[in-house]
Amino acid sequence: MIYLLLGKDSFGKRQFLTELAASLKSETVEIDSPLEEREVLNQTSGGSLFASSKLVIVHNALQKIEAMPLLNKIAKTADTVVFVETSLDKRKKETKELLADKRIHLKEFEVPTGSAFINWIELRAKKFGFEFERGAAQELAKRLGDDGRTQTEYDLWQADSEIQKLNAFADGKKISKEDVEKLVAESIDQDIFKVTNAIADRNKELTAKYLSDFIERSPGTDEKSKIINLAAVLAEQFRGLYSFASMLARGAGDAEIASLTGFTPGRIFVYKKLSRSIDPKKLLIALKKIEALDVDLKTSNAPASLEFYMIIHGLIK
């Protein structure tokens, strides 16, 4: 049997492969990024009925090796062969032929978003034997990076790790929203989004609070290191907003922006709001000052937090 696994969900693919290996109870061989078809053929048993069957997992091969000739050569193998790819160019004739071939069992694995991700969280919890109270799964999704307005692509490995941590805490009871708040830290992306949004709203009090919260939750005890880390993360956010504002200024439409950035419609909507609320000239000035501050902090004993807060204050004025 031949499988083709497509999509960005590496967690789901690995779960499928683990379950497949357990059901077959045969030797498993994994090949990573082969450059020639013989590397795959050497691991299969061809059409022999007397060879012990294997599970042969081939990662990242079909964009380097001609797929159809390889498929024809392994079609009668006694092994189970699984090709694992993130994506294939569906515009190519060969890809269309491959996806239409009845000898291949196609399975697509995309990272769930929005309500589908919340359903994923709840189903994963049931696998471990516990449930969430109302609103708790949504809170976990939020802390894993969901800002409520964009189609976030989650790290399902991290999500599973947090669910296992909650399972250890559950001890037979349902997990509440308060349990999630206590046990799961908010993601850096979520923290920084709150800072940027407060700056865009020109809310000095909230900006100061969210900056302080970020610094307090950052690992370590050295304030200077925490400010350097915060400045770097915010600078990356500011560069994205400045680039977005530049695209809007030259009249780029949503389709072009999505093509250039990979943003979903929801994220484009959010960035439009932020870009219209923060003056691009002030962003550029802030970026230059953050760069200078970074050098200064790494080479002197300059007062870290005071200079940084003054830069952010310049964006809010």
Residue range 145-169: average pLDDT?
76
Residue range 216-239: average pLDDT?
78
Residue range 3-29: average pLDDT?
92
Query: What confidence score (pLDDT) does residue 12 get?
Result: 93
pTM, two decimals, is 0.61
Percent of the chain with pLDDT over 90: 23
Residues 80-128 pLDDT 10s: 999 999 888 888 888 898 899 999 999 999 888 888 889 999 999 999 9
Listing DSSP states for the chain in one string gives -EEEEESS-HHHHHHHHHHHHHHH-SEEEEEES-SSHHHHHTTS-TT-SSSPPEEEEEES-TTTS-HHHHHHHHTT-SSEEEEEES---TTSHHHHHHHH-TTEEEEE-----HHHHHHHHHHHHHHHT--BPTTHHHHHHHHTT--SSS-----HHHHHHHHHHHHHHHTTSPBPHHHHHHHSPPPHHHHHHHHHHHHHTT-HHHHHHHHHHHHHHSSSS-HHHHHHHHHHHHHHHHHHHHHHHHHHHTT--HHHHHHHH---HHHHHHHHHHHHHS-HHHHHHHHHHHHHHHHHHHHS---HHHHHHHHHHHHH-
pLDDT at 131 over 90: yes
Residues 188-206 pLDDT 10s: 666 677 788 888 888 888 8
Residue range 130-145: average pLDDT?
89
Q: Which domains does the chain have, with CATH numbers?
A: 2-108 (3.40.50.300), 114-183 (1.10.8), 188-316 (1.20.272.10)
